[in-house]
Amino acid sequence: MTKIIKLSSVVFCSLIFLLIIGIGLLVTFVSPNYFKPIITAQVLKYTGQPLTIDGDLSWSFFPHFGFKTGHLSWGNQVEVNGAVLQVEIWPLLHRQLNVPRFDVDGGRFILANKNAEQIARIDHIQLHAENIQLDKAFPIATTFAFTAKNGTVQGQGSLDAQLQMDLKQQVYQLSHIVFSAKTPSGRLNVKTDILMNLHEQTLTAEKINADVANMALVGTLHITHLLQNPELTGHVNIPPFDLKKWLQAINKDVPDLQVTKNTSGDFYFSVTTSKQWVWNGIHLQGHLNMDELQAAKLKITKLSTEVKLNQGILDLSPVTGALYQGNLRGDAKVNLDRTIPQITTQGSLEHIQAEPLLDDLWGTDKKIKIQGMGTVAFQLNTQGTNTHSLLQSLNGSTQFNFNNGVLSGVNIGYWIDVAHSILAGQSLPSQNADSTSFGNLTGTAIIHNGLLSNNDLFLDSPRFDTKGQGTIDLVSMEINFALQTTLKHLEVTKPLANLYDIPIPINITGNLAEPHVRLNAEAIAKGVAEQQINKVQAKVQEKIQEKLKDKIPEKANELLKNLLQ
């Protein structure tokens, strides 16, 4: 037994000695740089991209035999500061490649178009792979930093997956991918499977499940011309989420966007990175739904629209929704290929209640407002990034028609009574109400840089008709309007007979919250004087015609009548 133990010890020590001698001879007489041309030739053969090893190779012995490299580059896209590749000797002697470990330290990947313009860049790559066998999947893990769009998108990422390679066909399959990226705008998490074919320069990702803050996405992605001018096509479905909370989570909050409940969408898209401008290479088509939207305090429910994005123009058509007991129908175009987005829209608000609409748009503190149901048609264009700038740049036209309502803030009937009292020399009446009921209120308006101008306002009331013209500054809420009210013939009673057929001018100035309403007494006096002159002229004409009726032939009488008119 002792002899067996001694013999085993001698054999083991001899093997260790021979191994040490072999390693010494290998290190002394065989340079790892001898394998440089072999390695670069094999990489070129299997990938089609040249591998350049700038520094010297060195041996690695623990825990497995292998190589260490300095700086190397693969094609024009990949650079590595250093790498370690270890292989198992025994399988290698049987022409089998088993790699227990492969590490990359400080890699870089650049994605550029055919003009060598950088599209995206990945730096500080740390990659670890183990148990690599060419006929089986093996685990890989990597961390990196990335930047794109000239630095406007940047952050840190990590990826874990199972990788299977077919070097001969240049096909790489990544399964069970777990990807995470952290940016200043938030964290992106993705789970998917990827099939990449470098020979055909294609990449396909199926069953993508991603989330950014509270927004989830499900979709597919296909990329062609992967290493030169990537072109992306795909589909994405967005289940309902709160858009307002998402914007807050990614630090892109829009204060004028107050509520966005249950936003959802379904889109097909394509992206061409070879285009000079970013938006010109993005195409998108699909539909967007939102249960509730409140923007600039305007409330819309059941909002739905078809969406198209082409050459930087976002086309929303048709846009439908419910608001203020009525309906919205229209369309809009947004030019995103500008520093400040430009918006063009047209449509109509049908059967809406005016008072709650104006309360939300202008505020409840405004004394002049309209109550009643109506329809508003509009054709508008503007540009800006907030409510104030959008109103300042607002241009276009609008038509409105409200029925069976009330004009608050102006009591036209009271001012008729005031005019009568002034002409009759009586004391002024007291005002019981600060409003005017109407059957119809109609008009059109032109808007120029936020200033609304109207010259055909018409208000139909049981006692009188009112015409008006003037302006409202939609930014400052300043009003300057002139009304002309005329009593209706059927409503003329004896006390008001002195006002019949005389326009009663009422001026409205100041802010809509505290308007100044006054009667133009001078214009009334002028109107009464003109009325009296007309009456005198009519009586004189009548007397002359009566006296001459029997003395002048009929034809001459008609001629004289025409001259006196």
Task: Annotate 8-25 with DSSP letters as a single string.
Answer: HHHHHHHHHHHHHHHHHH
User: How high does pLDDT run on average in the chain?
Assistant: 81
Under 8 Å between Cβ of 259 and 293:
yes
Residue 526 has pLDDT above 70, yes or no: no
Model confidence at 273, pLDDT cuts 50, 70, 90, reads: confident
- Residues 213-265 have pLDDT tens digits of 999 999 999 999 887 778 899 999 999 999 999 999 888 888 889 999 999 99
Q: Which amino acid is at 339?
A: T
> Residue 4, SS3?
helix
- Residues 287-300 have pLDDT tens digits of 999 999 999 889 99
- The domain spans of the chain are 1-30, 35-200, 202-310, 338-519, 525-565
Choose the weakest-confidence range: 40-54, 135-149, 381-395: 40-54
User: Measured between alpha carbons, how far is 176 from 160 in angstroms, rounded to an integer?
Assistant: 8
Inter-helix orientation angle 554-564/521-548, to 10°: 170
Model confidence at 530, pLDDT cuts 50, 70, 90, reads: low
Residue 343 has pLDDT above 90, yes or no: yes
The DSSP string of 427-465 is: PPPPP--SEEEEEEEEEEEEEETTEEEEEEEEEE-SSEE
As separate numbers, helices (DSSP H) first and strands (DSSP E) second, the chain gives 9, 28
Structure token pair of residue 9: 């010890």
The sign of the dihedral angle between the CA atoms of 549, 550, 555, 560 is negative
- pTM of the full predicted structure? 0.76
Residue 391 has pLDDT above 80, yes or no: yes
Residue with tokens 């203020």: 324
Q: Which amino acid is at 501?
A: D
User: Measured between alpha carbons, how far is 462 from 488 in angstroms, rounded to an integer?
Assistant: 8
- Of 497, 493, 499, the closest CA to residue 523 belongs to 499
Output the pLDDT for position 481.
96
Structure token pair of residue 513: 């919250």
> Residue 254, SS3?
coil
Output the pLDDT for position 278.
59
Angle of CA points 540, 503, 485, to nearest 5°? 150
Distances (CA, A) of 428 to 230, 418, 425, 492, 520: 81, 6, 9, 20, 15
Output the pLDDT for position 23.
45
Which residues lie closer than 8 Å to 354 by C-beta, 6 or more apart?
324, 369, 370, 371, 372, 373, 374, 402, 405
Choose from 16-25, 49-58, 61-70, 132-141 the range with maximum mean pLDDT. Answer: 132-141
Q: How many CA atoms lie within 13 A of 360 on its CB side?
A: 16
Model confidence at 565, pLDDT cuts 50, 70, 90, reads: very low
Model confidence at 26, pLDDT cuts 50, 70, 90, reads: very low
- Residues 79-119 have pLDDT tens digits of 888 777 766 655 555 556 667 788 888 888 877 666 666 77
- Residues 29-43 have pLDDT tens digits of 456 666 677 777 777
Output the pLDDT for position 223.
93
Output the pLDDT for position 16.
43
Across residues 256-285, what is the average pLDDT? 84
> Residue 403, SS3?
strand
Structure token pair of residue 151: 């630095």
Number of other residues whose CB lies within 10 A of the CB of residue 457: 20
Residue 8 has pLDDT above 50, yes or no: no
Across residues 318-325, what is the average pLDDT? 96
